[in-house]
Amino acid sequence: MTFWDHLEELRRVLLRCIVVVALFAVLAFIFKDEVFWVIFAPKSPDFLPFIFGSSPEVQLINTELTRQFVVHMMTSLYVGIIVAAPYIIFELYRFISPGLYENERRYTTPLVIASYFMFMMGILFCYFILFPITFRFLANYQVATSIQNLISLESYIDTLVFLSLAMGIIFEIPILSWLLGRLGILHRQHMQQYRRHAIVIILIIAAIITPTSDAITLTIVSLPMYLLYEVSILLVPRK
């Protein structure tokens, strides 16, 4: 195939991906009640009570005429991308796989699958643990009793998306470490040697992600990150 043939094939791949994303986005737009029930579940006082206990109900508000419709459209797009992600990855892999050597193809397939799996694990950790803790703290935090919190719909969605993306990327640490190890850039001895430095960095990142000041919340967030670091050590080869 010539360069222009490859470019034309890439155009077809991207077009198919866009069509699939649009299809799932339309379905998410139609099934609005079910989608937003899932999205708003973490703010409910009854969400995983055996973990978080009881908390006061927090009502969301909307202050702009078109904002709810815009949020509905953007949320449907986010859902469409997440649901269509396996197909997108499959199409991109099918596009690049003919140019890979046999040994590269043998490593690429499990690497792609593991990357998607770890990213979704990060999103689930955010949804069930991190975001409910963060939302409960921020929604009920007051610098003075005379100031009432009015949480906007857009702020809720933006925070959920940001934290989900952040945790999805953080959960890619073992995959990135394995890849750097295969390239000879990272070695097990280095990660073991700088374990204490890594713990300090993990605590700083956890403190930034979770604005709560209690040690329990900090531990809940930093412990999985530390476990990911230890798993990364096992995946990285020695010198």
Residue 74 resides in a domain? no
pTM of the model: 0.85
Query: What pLDDT, on a 0 to 100 scale, did the predictor assign at position 66?
Result: 93
Residue 177 resides in a domain? yes
Residue 12 resides in a domain? no
Low-confidence ranges of the chain (pLDDT < 50): none
Query: What pLDDT, on a 0 to 100 scale, did the predictor assign at position 213?
Result: 59
d(CA 72, CA 75): 5
* Domain total in the chain: 1
Q: What is the pLDDT of residues 213-233, one digit of tens each?
A: 567 677 878 888 999 999 999
Residue 6 resides in a domain? no
Residue 14 resides in a domain? no
Residue 215 resides in a domain? yes
**CA distances from residue 210 to 77, 99, 162, 167, 219 in whole angstroms, order as listed:** 26, 43, 12, 11, 10
Instruction: Report the DSSP pairing between strands 60-61 and 151-152.
Output: parallel
Query: What pLDDT, on a 0 to 100 scale, did the predictor assign at position 1?
Result: 67
DSSP codes of every residue in 109-156: HHHHHHHHHHHHHHHHHIIIIIHHHHHHHHHH--SSTT----EEHHHH
| Spatial contact of 199 and 210, defined as CB atoms under 8 Å apart | no
Which residue range is the domain that position 220 belongs to? Answer: 135-141+151-239
Residue 122 resides in a domain? no
Query: What pLDDT, on a 0 to 100 scale, did the predictor assign at position 12?
Result: 92
**CA distances from residue 111 to 144, 169, 176, 235 in whole angstroms, order as listed:** 50, 15, 10, 12
d(CA 99, CA 104): 10
Residue 161 resides in a domain? yes
